[in-house]
């Protein structure tokens, strides 16, 4: 996916002029390593298209299939929403978050891994549909790098919030409790909602803001009505996405550093899945 270019020219991300791929510094604007160590062309292609959307969908689908193969729970004894579900132990092994993994087992890294895991066929289908709907719009407005950062930050903030609430406030009514074990991309999806709301406020796009608020409100109500939905993760994801988008400021151009930071976040997220499996094998 990330092929290194060792010769030839690339477009400097600082001044948009051609420079040698291995130049230590751009002779026109002075940017250090304008060829991004040989990965400039690949990174620019990733930023210009929908590489991130395809990456999320493919990675989530692969992990869902792997968790089914490792620990298949059944064809849906818990109803339609539990159709083709991995077992709870398997989800835990691959990196579910919540107060139980984080506080009882010390798996503090799971807010990074949980966004990539799903608990049933409908769970992953609904989430991937929302990502396919929302992420391309964010990429057009913020750029691919900042979209990845918003996505990852929102997921982490959502799972941290639900874990902390579940640990510190166990006596809340069931519908308001933090999750003991939780997975899914929905916290990150609510972060994309938050980022779009911020964009509408910053740019004066009232119609966009109203549309996104409508979507978010419907899903919030859905979470309050139907059992088994992690409302604190959704709330934390929305707040995290809004805050990240505010810091990244969509009115300014995206910088190459954003894309590099995004790749680091993706690498850390997948490393968290691997660490979860290794930790599970160690404590088993």
Question: Which pLDDT belongs to residue 253?
Answer: 82
Supply the pLDDT for residue 95: 98
H or E, element range at 221:
helix 206-225
CA distance 79 to 63: 22
Cα gap 25→214, rounded to integer Å:
48
Strand 9-11 and strand 72-74: pairing? unpaired
Neighbours of 164 (CB within 10 A): 16
Classify residue 97 by its DSSP letter. Answer: B
Q: How far apart are alpha carbons 114 and 127 in whole angstroms?
A: 13
Who's near 121: CB < 8 A, 6+ residues apart? 83, 84, 85
Ordered per-residue pLDDT tens for the chain, 284 residues: 456 666 667 666 556 677 776 777 777 776 666 656 555 566 666 555 578 899 999 999 999 999 999 988 766 555 667 788 999 999 999 999 999 999 999 999 999 999 999 999 999 999 999 999 999 989 888 988 899 999 999 999 999 999 999 999 988 888 788 999 999 999 999 999 999 999 988 887 777 778 888 888 888 777 777 777 899 999 999 999 999 999 999 888 877 788 889 989 999 999 999 999 999 999 88
Counting beta carbons within 10 angstroms of the beta carbon of residue 268, is it exposed (0 to 12), middle (13 to 18) or buried (19 or more)?
middle
- List the beta bridge partners of residue 9: 20
Give the chain's length.
284
Query: What does the pLDDT read at residue 150?
Result: 97
256: Cα within 13 Å, side-chain hemisphere: 20
The answer to whether the CB of 144 falls within 8 A of the CB of 47 is yes
pLDDT of residue 219: 80
With beta carbons less than 8 A apart as the criterion, state whether 115 and 107 touch: no
- Distance (Å, rounded) from C-alpha 190 to C-alpha 220? 10
Could you give all domains of the chain from N- to C-terminal order, each with its CATH number? Answer: 9-43 (no CATH), 49-283 (1.20.1540.10)
Cα–Cα dist 56/30, whole Å: 35
């Amino acid at each position: 996916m990330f092929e290194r270019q060792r010769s030839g020219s690339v477009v400097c991300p600082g001044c948009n002029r051609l420079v040698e791929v291995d130049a230590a510094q751009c002779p026109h604007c002075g940017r250090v390593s304008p060829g991004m160590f040989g990965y400039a062309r690949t990174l620019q292609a990733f930023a210009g298209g929908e590489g991130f959307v395809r990456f999320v969908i493919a990675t989530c689908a692969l992990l869902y299939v792997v968790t089914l193969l490792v620990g298949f729970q059944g064809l849906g004894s818990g109803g339609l929403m539990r159709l083709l579900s991995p077992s709870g132990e398997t989800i835990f092994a691959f990196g579910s978050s919540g107060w139980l993994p984080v506080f009882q087992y010390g798996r503090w890294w799971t807010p990074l891994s949980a966004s990539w895991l799903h608990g049933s066929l409908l769970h992953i289908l609904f989430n991937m549909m929302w990502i396919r709907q929302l992420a391309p719009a964010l990429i057009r407005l913020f750029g691919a790098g900042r979209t990845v950062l918003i996505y990852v930050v929102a997921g982490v903030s959502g799972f941290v919030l639900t874990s902390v609430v579940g640990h510190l406030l166990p006596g809340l009514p069931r519908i308001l409790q933090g999750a003991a074990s939780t997975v899914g991309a929905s916290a990150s999806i609510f972060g994309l909602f938050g980022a779009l709301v911020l964009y509408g406020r910053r740019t004066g796009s009232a119609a966009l803001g109203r549309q996104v608020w409508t979507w978010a409100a419907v899903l919030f109500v859905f979470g309050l009505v139907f059992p088994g939905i992690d409302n604190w993760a959704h709330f934390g994801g929305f707040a995290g996405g809004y805050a990240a988008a505010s810091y990244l400021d969509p009115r300014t151009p995206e910088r190459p550093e954003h894309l590099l930071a995004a790749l680091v976040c993706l690498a850390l997220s997948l490393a968290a899945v691997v660490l979860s499996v290794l930790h599970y094998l160690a404590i088993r």
